[in-house]
Amino acid sequence: MARKINFVTGTRADFGKLEPLAIAARDAGHEVSFTATGMHMLERYGLTKLEVHRIEGVRVYELLNQRVGDPQDLILAKTVMGLSDLFRETQPDLVVFHGDRIEALACALVCATNYIRSAHIEGGEVSGTIDEMLRHCNTKLAAFHFVSSDDAKARVMRLGEAAGRIHVIGSPELDFHARPAPVDLAEVRARYQIPFDDFGIAVFHPVTSETATMGQQADDLFAALDASGRNFVVIAPNNDPGSDAIFAALDRLPADRFRIIPSMRFGYFSCLMKEAAVMVGNSSAGVREAPFLGLPSLDIGTRQTNRAQSPSVFSAAAGDPAAIEAFLADHWGQRFAPHTGFGHGNAAQRFADILNDPGFWSLDLQKTFADHG
């Protein structure tokens, strides 16, 4: 039986995880739609709603939920109001959302209070900062859970969720990386005006609990990268509080060795990661996707604390230039064995198989706390 399934996406990062699932659901015969909100709607971050509109065979709703500089609580309130109106109008059978951001929390609240069947992608993760708290809140509000690992499933169960509501499918973005990139490096370099062949990738996002020091952290990190004399493709930070200070640090970098890009199409970014020498920063891509590709990565600061363990992931404080330089000197261009702790690149098919199971649709939306003893 075909169902109406809406995927809510607020950032380029969660879209990369939701797109494979949405395509698999569409191909399984379901009526699929996206709600594009958050960063997708902002020119400063590349107006990435255009990427959502490129998916064939799905409908896209747009929700402008913020202006640059809005505080998180105001964004939450605006998003709750917008999604409430949208879901009452469209009546989805299932709403799918990802992770730990404000838009996901708003979605989880609207679904829970209106008894709309919902599925949370990649709950049960630990990462430090407010992201982890929001992620666990979303777990308790969601009806079903599609997690990336057995460890994540165990944490979701410890939060009182029934085992029958939790499905281990792996990290969906690995589906992209597991197959050949749709473009080659020459196409990526031409599209994004990247002038060098030998390069690292740097992505440094704000940490909402450390906004007072984000400017100094960004200055320290990029000064160390600059001092290395190496080339970097820098993906601009997300729109969390503290991003202005990071943008200010990026503005001071020499343009001949740092190519700063607001956002990249996921297939192009996958190719870039496969060809990069290293990855540096605090993006989840550095602790999940990079290890899957065998790409050495240096995790900076606290944003991904305890998120993942892999032989190819190293860590340093932003203000430790010696550790940063040592990582670049020791691991530039190195390749590690692929790490499959977050799946093998078949999450979308597993997701579609679960949607096709009538048992998934028969479970009651009124949850009870599952005390696993």
Average pLDDT for residues 142-165, to the nearest whole number? 97
CB burial of residue 336 (10 Å; 0-12, 13-18, 19+): middle
Give yes or no for residue 4 having a pLDDT over 80. Answer: yes
What pLDDT, in 10s, does the model give residues 189-211?
999 999 999 999 999 999 988 99
pLDDT value for 198: 97
Encoded tokens for 219: 């200055």
Average pLDDT for residues 283-301, to the nearest whole number? 96
pLDDT value for 313: 96
**Is domain 179-331 annotated with CATH 3.40.50.2000?**
yes
Domain with CATH 3.40.50.2000 in the chain: 4-170+345-362, 179-331
Across the chain, mean pLDDT equals 95
Average pLDDT for residues 335-352, to the nearest whole number? 95
Average pLDDT for residues 93-97, to the nearest whole number? 98
Separation of alpha carbons 336 and 294, rounded Å = 4
Give yes or no for residue 184 having a pLDDT over 80. Answer: yes
Encoded tokens for 128: 């430090």
pLDDT value for 356: 95
Chosen CATH of 4-170+345-362 out of 3.40.50.10360, 3.20.20.140, 1.10.630.10, 3.40.50.2000: 3.40.50.2000
pTM for this entry? 0.90
Give yes or no for residue 244 having a pLDDT over 80. Answer: yes
